[in-house]
Structure 1
Amino acid sequence: MAVSLREYRARIKSTESMKKITRAMELIAASRIIKAQQRAQAAAPYARELTRAVSAVATYSNVDHPMTTESEDPKRAAVLVVTSDRGLAGAYSSSVIKESERLVEMLREEGKEVDTYICGRKGEAYFKFRQRPIVQSWTGFSDQPSYAVAQEVGQTLIDAFLKEQGEEGDVDEVHVVYTRFRSMLVQEPTAVRLLPLEVVEGEEKPSADDALPLYEFEPSPEAVLDELLPRYVQSRIFFALLQAAASELAARQKAMKAATDNADELIKKYTRIANQARQAGITQEISEIVGGVNALADASAASD
């Protein structure tokens, strides 16, 4: 019984140590998520205005740009999967990977081959463990992405899209799978097609009283599109990385809070069992003492 009691006390001690770790990680995630939300909100106006500018050029210029032109026979698509670099975030990375698997299956049903690009060590480890080819991967920034990384990722995907069909590494479509931050409780895996460009001005339609703007393009619509479209793609990728970072921190905070609560329950359970074991040990010792006293009393009475 004493061995069992020591075992439960050791379990209580180890669970308390684990609780301190999960509680600290919960607080760290809670402190960082505010900054991540602020960065995502700060990037939204630039992305919105850039979308309006691209929409205006694409709508009023009547220019067939390579990045806005649909391929007549698309055969290959690139899929960028945005996961986390670290674990302990619940089902965050696995949900994104499941969404990417669904997208890949849909593309293959359409007769397209898929090139995979990865952001985050979790996604990279998933595909490497299953021996699936990865064209290129970027790691080490999932919780604090920078615009420089978004530029590098965006330029890589643009270069692959602009290659001539049949050239090594060419793709006809570019898709991004990331986690959209809805709220602290809801993070939604989302798949978006970036190229060929599908520019959406917004959900709200202009009223009848709104005057349509007049646009002049200098030096030319083609030159404006050449400058705006890469910036548009890079800003969309940067916004996706910021959304994913906020979602990762929210998922980690939620997972660590659940782990801390589970540790509390385990400590209570082990404490109760340890008390029961201690009481059982005391009861057994008392029974042995009483039995010994009775045996001595009986032996003394028999000798008299």
Structure 2
Amino acid sequence: MGAQQREYKKRIRSAQGMQKIFKAQEMIAAARISKAQARVEATTPYADAITQAIGAVATHTRDAVHPFLAQDRSRTGRVAILLITSDRGMAGSYSSSAIRQAERLNNTLRAEGKSVERYIVGRKGDSYFRFRNRRVEQSWTPYKETELVELGHEIAATLNARLLDESENGLDELFVVGTRFISRFQQEARVARLVPLAVVDADEDADTTFPLYDFIPDAATVLDDLVPRYVTSRIVSILLQSMASEHASRQRAMKTATDNADSQITKFTRLANAARQAEITQEITEIVGGADALAGSGRKDR
């Protein structure tokens, strides 16, 4: 029985150590969610202003065109998928959900006869495809949370150059697979098509007041400058939202792991107590049995 108790106590100590790690990770993730959410909200006005400006140029200037606005971009048949995953583990289904979305999108595009190029952010996505010997055009890993804006500009510069490339190696479309942060308890892996841009004309009968813009030197030049900036702002925004979603997913995963560790501690504590009680009962039984044996033999203690 002693060996059994030692084994249970060993497992209890192991579960207690893991519980401390899980609890610390949960607290760290909870503290970082608010900061990540604040960064997302800080970039929203800039992205909204660029979107509004592009809409004004595209809607009110008929002679202004840009390659990213052309809905029938089928020069090369090449399509880029930018997948955003985690650099670290213990984040629950955060990375796997985004990877599944990317795989479904990849199958859909290939069924349409398009050639897919993969661009990966994060170790989890990069290792997933490389382990399966599937080509990755470029990956950005590892990355720092404090440098997400700079990372977004670097990624956008690479992809904008490929999208504007007029040669046979250029890209026609750009899809981004990331995780939308809805709340601390709800995140959603989704696909966003950034290029070509979808410009929706406003309803002429709607009572809408449009801002007034003066395009200098001309609308086409302004559009050439705004559209790549729009793509950059969207990539940065999706990166920031994905980071906030990662923290929220890690907090939930660590809370579940902490509760599971507590359940294991309770389970093995009960087993250890039962083993100890069985040992005590056995010792008492042996003492009583020995006393009965002495009494039956007629010997008396002196």
TM-score between the two structures when normalised by the length of structure 2: 0.94
Give 1:160's aligned residue. Answer: 162
**Aligned-partner Cα distance in 2 for 1:112–1:148:** 31
Cα 1:244–1:22 change in 2 (3 A) is same
Instruction: Say if 1:67 and 1:229, in contact at 8 Å, map to a contact too.
Output: yes
Instruction: Say if 1:51 and 1:200, in contact at 8 Å, map to a contact too.
Output: no
Amino acid at match of 1:101: E
Give 2:217's aligned residue. Answer: 219
Q: 238, 248, 252: which one pairs with 1:240?
A: 238
Alignment of 1:108-123 (within 5 A): 108-123=110-125
**Aligned-partner Cα distance in 2 for 1:213–1:183:** 32
Give 1:20's aligned residue. Answer: 20
**Aligned-partner Cα distance in 1 for 2:123–2:100:** 16
Q: Secondary structure at the match of 1:146?
A: helix
Cα 1:75–1:210 change in 2 (3 A) is closer
Residues 103-156 of structure 1, C-alpha deviations (whole Å, 9 max, x = no match): 001101111010000001110010110111010011233644432111110111
Percent sequence identity over matched residues? 51
Amino acid at match of 1:66: P
Q: Does 1:182 align with 2:182?
A: yes
Residue segments in structure 1 that go unaligned for 5+ positions in a row: none
Instruction: Say if 2:79 and 2:174, in contact at 8 Å, map to a contact too.
Output: yes
Q: Secondary structure at the match of 2:69?
A: coil
Give 1:3's aligned residue. Answer: 3
Mean Cα displacement is larger for which, 292-301 or 282-291?
Answer: 292-301
Residues 152-172 of structure 1, C-alpha deviations (whole Å, 9 max, x = no match): 1011111111112423xx211
Instruction: Say if 2:175 and 2:192, in contact at 8 Å, map to a contact too.
Output: yes
Cα 1:200–1:282 change in 2 (3 A) is farther
Amino acid at match of 1:156: T
**Aligned-partner Cα distance in 2 for 1:179–1:77:** 20
Q: 253, 256, 261: which one pairs with 2:254?
A: 256
Instruction: Say if 2:160 and 2:228, in contact at 8 Å, map to a contact too.
Output: yes
**Aligned-partner Cα distance in 1 for 2:157–2:134:** 23
Give 1:53's aligned residue. Answer: 53
Cα 1:162–1:21 change in 2 (3 A) is same
**Aligned-partner Cα distance in 1 for 2:246–2:294:** 71
Cα 1:71–1:143 change in 2 (3 A) is same
Amino acid at match of 2:65: D
Matched pairs, number: 298
Instruction: Say if 2:92 and 2:249, in contact at 8 Å, map to a contact too.
Output: yes
**Aligned-partner Cα distance in 1 for 2:211–2:36:** 35
Instruction: Say if 1:84 and 1:93, in contact at 8 Å, map to a contact too.
Output: yes
Residue segments in structure 2 that go unaligned for 5+ positions in a row: none
Residues 220-269 of structure 1, C-alpha deviations (whole Å, 9 max, x = no match): 11210121111110000000001000000000000000000111111111
Residues 252-287 of structure 1, C-alpha deviations (whole Å, 9 max, x = no match): 000000000111111111101110000000000111
Amino acid at match of 1:184: R
